[in-house]
Structure 1
Amino acid sequence: MAVFVLDRHKKPLMPCSEKRARKLLEKGRARVHRLMPFSIRLVDRTVNDSVLQPVTLKLDPGSKATGIAVVRESETIDEETGEIKTTVYVLTLFELQHRGKQISESLTARRQMRRRRRGNLRYRAPRFLNRTKPKGWLAPSLQHRVDTVSAWVQRFQRLAPITGIAQELVRFDLQQMENPEISGVEYQQGTLHGFETKEYLLEKWNRECAYCGTKNIPLQVEHIQPKANGGSHRVSNLTLACQPCNQKKGAQAIEIFLAKAPKRLAKIKAQVKRPLKDASAVNSTRWALFNALKATGLPILTGSGGRTKFNRSTLGIPKDHALDAACVGIMEAIHHWDKPALAIKATGRGSYQRTRLNAFGFPRGYLTRQKRIKGFQTGDMVKAEVPTGKKIGSYRGRVAVRASGSFNIQTATGLIQGISHRYCKVTQRADGYGYSQQLNPKEVALAGDPLSLPALKGGVSRGKSR
């Protein structure tokens, strides 16, 4: 991956390669500024002595993880058509894993314990309408996603000369699908419209055949009300079906085709009227993130999930959160995408809870009142050199402290228990996140299916054989 570079005054410069960063460190021209994400600080250069290129930060927000890509874009003009073509060069990739589920479960447990103590074990007069929610309020599990992504955007602004942000704002262009004529017949008949619709249907119908429930097979877009009987192309009249069911149904009405399966018929009719699962929560989170990103003052470009999938499929890029972020927006070619992503897992900064609770919500034990033990706290990145004993060896990872001074270290290969604090040395203080290196996406895809990807050496361009 590219290494972030800062000048002597901690101002961001253009990222460099790992090889160049290693040479700068060996010659004493740079110091290690931070381990994760790895960044160096030059001691003999300022931002005025350097040439900066435009760097774009691309985001693919999701419910469980958000893909982040730091890229450099270049635009060229096609001499034949005069069109502007955009080429993307990926500098580094990240996958930010949220902990919204843990936050929701913790709040639920706390609420149940309080309700048990206040309602069943002692009387408290009921109170209503004593709390108001501000405009734009989000549940803590959703607000966490917005705050976490916003914090990392600000961090990347301090590490790289970010000149613009590209965000996948909406999963599907619903307005275009419901009214294709809004942008002319070209959009309705274009390739992108098919990607928008197919991706929407895959999410809505749980990626299975609506008629037989078969999964993990190629699915076709099926008209619930046949076109021969006046059925429209709107998404409200579309579903997914496997090839045998699609051929068997033909131009029959769904009531006739499923006459012997009334439960399946009722389920399909109910699913047609049901909105996309979690659509309101996801959309509210993305709009809240968009409004938060506007506060950075940088220009923001937006795109849809259909456009991202279109770019990824056309350019032969495997499915991955970080690579989805790199494919956001309009582009004609992408280079250097086959590099591992840094997984960033939100772990939090500890808990305010100071007691263990029993089944009835009452304290059964007390936790330590101090976070730091022997100069360490849970979440610190440490290096441990154990000279003797059963745990002899060298370990690097995230530490979990104990009051006894015997710590646990979470390494890339597993959990190592019972390491004395005397053998530990802090390499990076806890910042509320855990870090791990992912595998090369191209190697993972090729290992799963040798024919799933073309033989690429550094870039893919549209219009070429793949």
Structure 2
Amino acid sequence: MAVLVLNKQGKPLMPCSEKRARLLLERGRAVVHRQMPFTIRLKHRIDGAVQPLRLKLDPGSRITGLALVREVETVDVETGEVRREAHPLLLAELQQRGASIRDALTQRAAFRRRRRSQLRYRAARFLNRTRPKGWLAPSLRHRVATAQAWVTRLRRLAPVTALSMESVRFDMQQLLNPEISGVEYQQGALLGYEVREYLLEKWGRQCAYCGTGNVPLQVEHIQPKAKGGSNRVSNLTLACRQCNEKKGKRDVRDFLAHAPQRLARILVQATAPLRDAAAVNSTRRALYRVLAATGLPVEASSGGRTKYNRHLHHIPKTHCLDALCVGQVDAVGRWQRPVLAIKACGRGSYQRTLLDKYGFPRGYLTRQKRHFGFQTGDRVRAIVPSGKNVGTHVGRVAVRSRGSFNIQTPAGVVQDISHRHCSLIQRADGYGYCHQPAVRERNA
């Protein structure tokens, strides 16, 4: 993974290799500016040559993929076509906490209703909340806000000159071919990729009839077209070659007459909405407006093109590698790089009482946020000389007023570590970090 570099005045320069950063730190020519993502600041250098970097995003309902790439553009002498080769410098996956926000708001609404009925009678009211055009729920607004925050943060740490995001944009067909019209314009060159990707997410990337995974899957009609079935996505599923040939033109009820439970599951799942896809679709335009407000050129590309690029360059499917394949990608450099996992943890809560599942208090939190110079969320290093937790532990700390802390490490939670053994690495910023190994093989 490349190391981000700042000059003496705190302005971003070109990232360097880990070896180069280690030499600069050992020789005293740089200091550590930030641990996650690892950034150094030069002590004497002000200027330096920078190359254009592009920050790519693959927004998802739970995880957003981030890829900071250096693009090398070459022009074909014969055709005059511009080819874009991407060299990834930083790969990261941002895990949102939209589900926890939704659950917290649901619980707060339940408490509010209870107080209203308990304290005094209030007449029923409805339609007393006005929502402006383009309103998003707090859990959805959080997805846009976290992506915006990390775009702003990476722009401060690296010379980002362009942005790319995955979004549906059919006008790209007309830009490539001004004479395109009719059905050809509506379908586009990547017809089938969007529907297939939707079905893969909906059916869990396995055969709907036998449950087999990691095999080539075929798009199959639940109700055969020979018996009046349509091409609607609610009538489409995925099946392996053996099940598809065995089913043939039979109705699904006849084919699974011996397995009524599996038949019922398929019929229910066929008409069930894809909640995650709805969340991504509702935040797509809001995120695009946020990125466009930065003043940088924004490239919007469809999910079908992302999948096409991934298959073309034989890259496995992960969120960060999907971000790497967003937009025009004619060639890819070394994508086998470690991944920085970022988890949105929040900055704490105003709630001072812990409740059990029945709503009764089971504990109280102190009003003081910092104890012994530490607060929950700080990244610390604990060197324990003896005892059951002997060793070195690095991770996110959870403080207590008595001075016995817990540390969340990649291997698990280490409990009851004295504050005297802890040293601060990075102040809490609302996120938890850990490094994941690079993906080496392509997923089936």
Fold shared per TM-score above 0.5: yes
1:357 matched to 2:366: no
Would the alpha carbon gap of residues 406 and 245 (structure 1) be closer, same or farther in structure 2, given more than 3 Å must change?
Answer: closer
Summarize deviations over 1:14-53 as a string: whole Å, max 9, x none: 111111111111122111110111001112122xx31111
Shift of 1:280: 2.7
Give 1:428's aligned residue.
426
Letter aligned with residue 55 of structure 2:
L
Query: Please, which runs of 5 or more residues in structure 1 have no aligned partner?
Result: 453-466
Report if the CA contact (8 A) 1:114-1:361 is conserved: no
Of residues 280, 287, 290 in structure 2, which corresponds to 1:289?
Answer: 287
Q: Aligned partners of 2:252, 2:410: CA distance in 1, in Å?
A: 53
Give 2:155's aligned residue.
157
Give 1:24's aligned residue.
24
Shift of 1:134: 2.6
Of residues 87, 92, 109 in structure 1, which corresponds to 2:107?
Answer: 109
Summarize deviations over 1:174-222 as a string: whole Å, max 9, x none: 999xxxx8577599695x3243332123234454545x35342432123
Q: Aligned partners of 2:435, 2:372: CA distance in 1, in Å?
A: 29
Shift of 1:426: 0.9
Report if the CA contact (8 A) 1:116-1:360 is conserved: no
Length-normalised TM-score, structure 2: 0.87
Report if the CA contact (8 A) 2:212-2:240 is conserved: no
Q: Aligned partners of 1:388, 1:242: CA distance in 2, in Å?
A: 56
Q: Aligned partners of 2:67, 2:182: CA distance in 1, in Å?
A: 30
Give 1:387's aligned residue.
385
1:345 matched to 2:359: no
Report if the CA contact (8 A) 1:113-1:360 is conserved: no
Structure 2 residue matching 1:441: 3-state secondary structure: coil
Structure 2 residue matching 1:149: 3-state secondary structure: helix
Would the alpha carbon gap of residues 333 and 268 (structure 1) be closer, same or farther in structure 2, given more than 3 Å must change?
Answer: same
Q: Aligned partners of 2:248, 2:404: CA distance in 1, in Å?
A: 69
Q: Aligned partners of 1:361, 1:124: CA distance in 2, in Å?
A: 23
Would the alpha carbon gap of residues 437 and 243 (structure 1) be closer, same or farther in structure 2, given more than 3 Å must change?
Answer: same
Summarize deviations over 1:163-182 as a string: whole Å, max 9, x none: 00000124x97999xxxx85
Structure 1 residue matching 2:85: 3-state secondary structure: strand
Structure 2 residue matching 1:404: 3-state secondary structure: coil
Structure 1 residue matching 2:73: 3-state secondary structure: strand
Give 1:402's aligned residue.
400
Q: Aligned partners of 2:188, 2:351: CA distance in 1, in Å?
A: 57
Would the alpha carbon gap of residues 175 and 249 (structure 1) be closer, same or farther in structure 2, given more than 3 Å must change?
Answer: farther
Q: What is the Cα-based RMSD across aligned positions, in Å?
A: 3.3
Give 1:456's aligned residue.
none
Give 1:460's aligned residue.
none
Query: Please, which runs of 5 or more residues in structure 2 have no aligned partner?
Result: 174-179
- Which stretch of the first structure deviates more once superposed, 73-82 or 243-252? 243-252
Would the alpha carbon gap of residues 264 and 24 (structure 1) be closer, same or farther in structure 2, given more than 3 Å must change?
Answer: closer
Would the alpha carbon gap of residues 359 and 233 (structure 1) be closer, same or farther in structure 2, given more than 3 Å must change?
Answer: closer
Q: Aligned partners of 2:261, 2:391: CA distance in 1, in Å?
A: 62
Q: Aligned partners of 1:220, 1:417: CA distance in 2, in Å?
A: 49
Would the alpha carbon gap of residues 119 and 9 (structure 1) be closer, same or farther in structure 2, given more than 3 Å must change?
Answer: same
Letter aligned with residue 118 of structure 1:
R
Q: Aligned partners of 1:316, 1:370: CA distance in 2, in Å?
A: 52
Give 2:127's aligned residue.
129
1:320 matched to 2:346: no
1:214 matched to 2:208: no
1:31-430 alignment, distance < 5 Å: 31-46=31-46, 49-119=47-117, 123-170=121-168, 182=181, 185=184, 192-209=190-207, 212=209, 214-216=211-213, 217-223=215-221, 238-250=236-248, 276-357=274-355, 361=359, 363=361, 365-430=363-428
Structure 2 residue matching 1:289: 3-state secondary structure: helix
Q: Aligned partners of 1:240, 1:359: CA distance in 2, in Å?
A: 40
Q: Aligned partners of 2:211, 2:239: CA distance in 1, in Å?
A: 9
Letter aligned with residue 10 of structure 1:
G
Would the alpha carbon gap of residues 201 and 356 (structure 1) be closer, same or farther in structure 2, given more than 3 Å must change?
Answer: closer
Give 2:7's aligned residue.
7
Report if the CA contact (8 A) 1:385-1:395 is conserved: yes
Letter aligned with residue 14 of structure 2:
M
Would the alpha carbon gap of residues 29 and 200 (structure 1) be closer, same or farther in structure 2, given more than 3 Å must change?
Answer: same
- Which stretch of the first structure deviates more once superposed, 288-297 or 103-112? 103-112
Shift of 1:363: 4.5
Report if the CA contact (8 A) 1:409-1:416 is conserved: yes
Structure 2 residue matching 1:156: 3-state secondary structure: helix
Shift of 1:385: 2.5
Structure 2 residue matching 1:399: 3-state secondary structure: strand
Q: Aligned partners of 1:419, 1:271: CA distance in 2, in Å?
A: 48
Shift of 1:394: 2.5
Q: Aligned partners of 1:366, 1:230: CA distance in 2, in Å?
A: 62
Shift of 1:225: 7.2
Shift of 1:413: 2.4
Shift of 1:86: 1.0
Shift of 1:236: 6.9
Length-normalised TM-score, structure 1: 0.83
- Which stretch of the first structure deviates more once superposed, 324-333 or 259-268? 259-268
Q: Aligned partners of 2:328, 2:172: CA distance in 1, in Å?
A: 19
Shift of 1:144: 1.1
